[in-house]
Amino acid sequence: MSKMNIRVLFIQRKERYEGQHAPEAYLVEDQWTREENPTWFIEHKEKALESLGDDLAGHAVVEFEVDQDKIRKLCLQDSHTIKAKMVDKQ
């Protein structure tokens, strides 16, 4: 398996009542973007969080590891879904 690492910025908007908003996948970066431009994610994350302002309750960055070959096949076929594994760095 050829591994592909993806980093996702999830945000949680402030709620007027519990359950009003689900967490949102707001920004995504793959490992090749990170290699070509190591500051891209950090810069865009800061801009995104700033633009959300008072609407933001919290955020988290989550890294996923997926099978690159399966992703490639999915891109070249009819749309299907595969499972991803979250990378636990704690």
What is the pLDDT, as a whole number, of residue 11? 97
Check: CB of residue 66 under 8 Å from CB of residue 84: yes
What is the pLDDT, as a whole number, of residue 89? 65
Residue range 53-82, pLDDT digits in tens? 999 999 999 999 888 888 888 888 866 777
Q: What is the three-class DSSP state of 37?
A: coil
What is the pLDDT, as a whole number, of residue 75? 83
Residue range 2-59, pLDDT digits in tens? 889 999 999 999 999 999 999 999 999 999 999 999 999 999 999 999 999 999 999 9
In the chain, DSSP assigns E strands to: 3-13, 24-30, 56-67, 85-86
Q: How many CB atoms lie within 10 A of CB 48?
A: 15
